[in-house]
Amino acid sequence: MKTKRRKKLPVILEPDEAENLMRIPNKRYLSGKRNLAVLSLMLNMGLRVSEVSNLRSGNVNLTKNKLRIVKGKGGVDRDLIIPFYTNELLKAWKKVKPKSKWFFTTIKDVKRTGKAKRFNTKKGNKFSARSINFMIKRYCKRAGIKKNVSAHTLRHSFSTQFIRQGGNVIHLQKILGHASVSTTQIYITLALKDVKEAMTQFEEFKI
């Protein structure tokens, strides 16, 4: 009989690491405004990288602080409330973004040719999941974060922090778009890890 392999806990960013990461984009530039909005959306709402990349302009209502994920994982739509700070960053990006059906876009025309690379990108194209992942890894390196971070790490970080702050696991399931609450429960394990570590440092009362 095969023994069930223990599932490895996902990597997360601690609050100070997440804040350091968000300090990296330069808001004076279009790319900085866009990238900071992307980071905030993932760290403060737990969106998947594919959901950020596929987000359409028509599904973001900044006046009502609402965002709709259309055909997320499993083909299910879900509506989310945008937190205040994230909403402000999305507004700042929306004011300067190229006209496009996509909410997050490329910001300039690029044409590169050569033996190794041959590709074209046009302003207003979808900001791809691959580009978002690359941006996050690059920013993490600049922020001095040594962990093996991917775009999904930001989703894990949001989820763990949500539970740490007393959030309900059923609510988190709905926010993340998980089909089953059993998938969401790993974040309870991550949050309880803090309790275990705190208890190892607790100095007992003695007589």
Max alpha carbon distance in the chain (Å)? 77
Cα 90 to the chain's mean position, in Å? 14
pLDDT value of residue 1: 47
Measure the CA–CA gap between 62 and 66, rounded to whole angstroms: 6
Q: Which two tokens stand for residue 149?
A: 């971070």
Mean pLDDT of each 10-residue bin along the chain, 207 residues long: 60 92 95 96 92 95 93 76 94 96 88 57 89 96 94 90 81 78 69 58 53
User: Cα–Cα distances in Å, from 132 out to 120, 135, 175?
Assistant: 17, 5, 21
pTM to 2 decimal places: 0.82
CA atoms within 13 A on the CB side of 79: 5
What is the predicted pLDDT for the residue at 154?
94
- 120, containing H or E segment: strand 119-121
Cα 181 to Cα 50, 147, 175: the distances in Å are: 21, 27, 11
pLDDT at 160: 86
